[in-house]
Chain A
Amino acid sequence: MLTAALGDPLVMVRAVHFAACTVAMGTLAFSEFAVPRGAGLPRGFNTMAAAAFAVAALSGTLWLVLIARNILDVPLAGVWDGLADVAAGTRFGRVACLRVGLALAGLAALAFGARRAALGAAALLIASIAFTGHAGAGTGLHGTIHFVSDMVHLLAAGVWLGGLPALICLLLANPAGPAAATRRFGSIAMASVAIIAVTGLINTAYLVRVPSEPLASAYNRVLALKLALFAAMLALAAGNRFWLTPSLPRTAFRLAVAVVAETALGLAALILVGALGTLQPPVSLPSSSAPINHGATEHAHPD
């Protein structure tokens, strides 16, 4: 099932979209909060953020098309007839249109040099991914808690993971090593990791029940892989923060290599997140308040 999930075009489109939203958020947050005032931004920052917004708009549109194909249960060529119905008639569709609009707004803001407005668009773009997932489908107080936790989780992940390419750009552009910006990013990353951990725990509490066999479901196996990748990323990040950064500028090249490795692991993790979204988490047993439904049957459609 994992192999099938990874071979699903929807998984890769989601992964590319998440990566693009993450880079847009992280690059702009890096330039706003990590780069000291008055320091110039390396060439490539604006290009990277603009490219990220463009890819987010394109992949977001493709995501909507693929979901519409699943909902309408038609071949891809036949999706155009019902696409407007899905776009206007489902919450996912309306949110997808809004999010593509946000990506284009971010691109326009960058074109006009309105960097903070672009950061605002990037923040809304990545946080609104929460509308498309399980956290956004819940109801009541717990639904709201899960939803808010997911939005904060996404923002923090955007700042940390999305800031890594910007850090690589900075390290490679300046052979002497931008010590101040790197240290500030390190501190921001630490705070982001703490937020990711807390909100991750909250999300887990709502999605994963303690199973008798931890790796019995495809969802748990993919999640275990993702956790392993995060553990490896954190090990690299810890080495960067406590060993390589204090020794800048001497360790600039080694730090750049380590951050590239961290980014590659982060990309792999985003692919797994793309897969997780198409698999059923263990919280599949209904929390029904009714007695056992005699004669009732139920099954979910494979997507």
Chain B
Amino acid sequence: MKRIAFILIACVLALAPVSALAHAHMDQSKPASGSTVAASPNEVSVSFTEAVEPKFSSIVVQDAKGVAVQVGKAEGGAGNTAELKVKLKPSLPPGVYTVIWKILSVDTHRTEGSFRFTVKP
């Protein structure tokens, strides 16, 4: 009986990884990726699938000419370790904006990506 139990445990053990790592990916954003907003947003916030390190992460928002329109450094979301946000210049003119994010997740892996949104009053 003990031998059978041991063999069963051995089979179950066949699925046992230890402390593996993964990369954080973008989960949601505000403004949403590919969306059109009627009013110029005050900030861009991006939430990820894992907690991130704000000190070693960044968000850059560029207009169609590649000029940066964010103000200051990206900060973590209040009470949400998986969120990063950055303030934008006031009254952004209509057009397409590109958000480029580069993050370091708390398990020390780096990921980067980008998405666009449109301001169209």
Chain A residues engaging chain B, CB cutoff 8 angstroms: 67, 70-71, 85-86, 89-92, 129-130, 132-139, 150, 153-154, 157, 190, 193-194, 196-201, 203-204, 207-208, 219, 223, 226-227, 230-231, 234-235, 238, 241-242, 273, 276-281, 283-291, 293-301, 303
Contacts and interface: CB of A to CB of B under 8 A. Distances in A.
Interface of B: 2-3, 6-7, 9-10, 12-29, 32-34, 49-51, 53, 55-56, 80-82, 104-116
Given A227-B14, A295-B116, A276 B20 contact: yes
A281 B22 CA distance: 6
A193 B33 CA distance: 46
Contact of A134 (B22, B26, B34): B22
Given A284-B22, A284-B25, A288-B28, A231 B112 contact: no
A289 B17 CA distance: 27
Contact of A301 (B29, B33, B112, B114): B112
B79 to A, nearest CB: 11
B112 A299 contact: yes
A92 B113 CA distance: 23
Contacts of A290: 27-29, 32-33
A196 B15 CA distance: 10
B26 A303 contact: no
B115 A293 contact: yes
16 contacts: A71-B56, A90-B104, A138-B50, A139-B50, A139-B80, A203-B16, A207-B22, A238-B6, A242-B2, A279-B21, A280-B22, A287-B27, A297-B114, A299-B111, A299-B112, A300-B109
Contact of B33 (A71, A85, A285, A294): A294
Given A134-B22, A286-B27, A299 B17 contact: no
Given A286-B49, A288-B27, A290-B28, A238 B34 contact: no
A139 B20 contact: no
Given A137-B107, A294-B33, A273 B23 contact: no
Given A276-B20, A284-B22, A297-B113, A136 B107 contact: yes
Contacts of A71: 56, 104, 108, 110
Nearest to B112: A299
Contacts of A288: 25-28, 49
Contacts of A92: 106-108
B105 A137 contact: yes
A293 B10 CA distance: 43
B19 A90 contact: no
A290 B108 CA distance: 25
A296 B115 contact: yes
Contacts of A287: 27, 49
A133 B16 contact: no
A257 B57 CA distance: 51
A134 B51 contact: no
Contacts of A208: 15, 17
Given A132-B107, A278-B21, A299-B112, A231 B10 contact: yes
Contacts of A203: 16-18, 20
A278 to B, nearest CB: 7
A130 B105 CA distance: 15
Contacts of B33: 290, 293-296
B13 A133 contact: no
A146 B88 CA distance: 36
A273 B19 contact: yes
B113 to A, nearest CB: 3
